[in-house]
Amino acid sequence: MVRFGLLGAGRIGKVHAKAVTGDADAKLVAVADAMAPAAKAIADQYGCEVRSIDAICAAADIDAVVICTPTDTHADLIEQFVKAGKAVFCEKPIDLSLARVKTCLEVVRKHKGTLMVGFNRRFDPHFKAAQAEIAKGTIGDVEMVTITSRDPGAPPVEYIKRSGGIFRDMTIHDFDMARFLLGEEITEVSAMAAVLVDPAIGKAGDFDSVQVMLKTASGKQAMISNSRRATYGYDQRIEVHGSKGSVAAENQRPVSIEVANANGYTRPPLHDFFMTRYTEAYAAEIATFIAALGGKGKAAPTGEDGLIALALADAAVKSVAEGRVVKLTEVMG
């Protein structure tokens, strides 16, 4: 039985609270949030206590924490809890600064801490099944990966300003997915970017429509296409072409009906929100973390995975700025 503290009682905190309490091998003991009513709501619903972060860190009845606080607190909290001997599941990203992530992971290593990072898409049943086919050898050697990732709509510009930019905020999921599917480290990054959706995003110094090419040392390749707008819903697809075949995971929609009439055959739009699209993935990543703490499987993706995804984002930023292919070693230092 893994005893949990939850740090952060916002939107994603609620998702993780549900996942923890729904797992027979875990128990939610305490929740902390700067906003008292948010913490209380979770405590009431699941019958756990409200505590301060420091109290949770010091508690003998807490084995692990889920960090869902604002991004700029992640690295500090990881260090604090790892030092206290707690296992840590942290929402991505660890930090927007590669240097800060490195020092944080140094602390984790030094204390032999357990750190799992929330790249939830690896746990989507469809993407996971596609990766499992690759692992089984169904498609032979992986050669070319195609990742399409488009949001129904752009977040507020205020959010974008603090997000680290589209590559670090949105494409970072696709960088991790590319690594998950390629099965070999990426060495080269080339990106193009434009503002096509909303000029305000451009004024904020960011892009809303980007495409990226990736390459590994042996020549395996991947492409990513991102847009901050898709009228037809949350567009999330992968396709992997290999020497013996191909595997694809298609888009998901809430209901799969089809209406036929004189206009043609119409299926409903896709999910319009990442939390309904990835409901099962959120539950599965927490279950994986819990199982790993119980000795079954690994608590992965790790902090190192978070570091590399961020480095790929930094490389993409540099590639756009300089109009050239950027080697990962250039940004990793």
| Residues at the contact surface with its own copies, assessed by CB under 8 A | 125-126, 128-130, 133, 138-139, 141, 143-144, 146, 148, 150, 188, 190, 192, 194-197, 209, 211, 213, 215, 218-221, 223, 225, 227, 229-232, 235, 241, 243-250, 252, 254-269, 323-325
What are the tokens at 248?
A: 């694809």
Cα distances (Å, whole numbers) of residue 188 to 218, 291, 308: 11, 35, 12
Q: In this complex, which beta carbon is closest to its own copies, that of residue 57 or of residue 315?
A: 315
The minimum distance between CB 230 and its own copies, in angstroms, equals 7
The least CB distance from residue 258 to its own copies, in Å, is: 5
Nearest approach, Cβ of residue 6 and its own copies (Å): 19
Q: Mention every residue, 6+ apart, whose C-beta is less than 8 A from residue 34.
A: none
Shortest Cβ 160–its own copies spacing (Å): 17
d(Cα 136, Cα 247) in Å, to the nearest integer?
12
Place of tokens 């800060």: 100
Q: Name the residue nearer to its own copies (CB basis): 139 or 293.
A: 139
- Closer CB to its own copies, residue 139 or residue 308? 139
Distance CA 265, CA 263 (A): 7
d(C-alpha 154, C-alpha 198), whole Å:
8
First-residue to last-residue Cα distance in the chain: 41
Q: Is the peptide bond before 93 cis (omega within 30 degrees of 0)?
A: yes
Question: Based on CB atoms, which residue is closest to its own copies, 80 or 226?
Answer: 226
Nearer to its own copies, 85 or 254 (CB): 254
Minimum CB distance to its own copies smaller for 177 or for 197: 197
Torsions phi, psi for 54 (to 5 deg): -65, -35
The SS3 assignment for 98 reads helix
92's CB contacts (< 8 A; 6+ apart) are: 117, 118, 119, 172, 173, 306, 309
What is the closest distance, in whole angstroms, from the C-beta atom of residue 73 to its own copies in the complex?
31
Strand order in the sheet with 26-32: 49-50, 26-32, 2-7, 64-67, 87-90, 115-117
Nearer to its own copies, 49 or 239 (CB): 239
Say how far apart CA 266 and CA 272 lie, in whole Å.
17
> Smallest distance from the beta carbon of 154 to its own copies, in angstroms?
12
User: Cβ of residue 127: shortest distance to its own copies, in angstroms?
Assistant: 9
- What does the DSSP 8-state code read for residue 64? E
